Amino acid sequence: MNKMTKIAISIVLTFCASSAFACDYPATPKDLPNGAVASKDEMLEGVKVIAAYQEVMATYLSCIESEEIVAIQALGDDEEAKEQRETMFEKKYNAAVDEQTRTVEQFNAEIRAFKAR
């Protein structure tokens, strides 16, 4: 079993298991193929890994949104605490989206390098 397949399986298993845990931050895929030297099959495996990562990240974002709604409701009428909590949530959410965007953009650069060969 090659490295990319192992990574893809790990990400899918993480996705499946995520419903059993409380909003675990997904690991960023490592060892994505280098478009300058990778085979077509390796690049296709990379696409699968990125797609699985995006699914896991979407699940994570949905999870933290749900947790945030419950937490905000639990604060009752404490507007200052709600505002602080919302600010922290926005930072957490945006950081996750930024990391996902960087990861996908990096892989897209590898796709462009692969196509340029």
- Backbone Cα Rg of the chain: 18
Q: Indicate the pLDDT class of residue 22, thresholds 50, 70 and 90.
A: confident
Place 18 in a pLDDT band, splitting at 50, 70 and 90.
very low
Least confident of 2-6, 33-37, 40-44, 63-67: 2-6
Query: Could you state, in order of their start, the residue ranges of all structural domains in the chain?
Result: 53-117
CA gap 99, 90 in Å, rounded: 14
**Residue 57: how many CA atoms within 13 Å on its side-chain side?**
22
Helices 3-17 and 40-74 cross at an angle (nearest 10°) of 20
| Residue 20 CB neighbours (<10 A) | 7
17 has a pLDDT exceeding 50? no
Segment among 20-24, 34-38, 83-87 with least mean pLDDT: 20-24
- Total-model pTM: 0.78
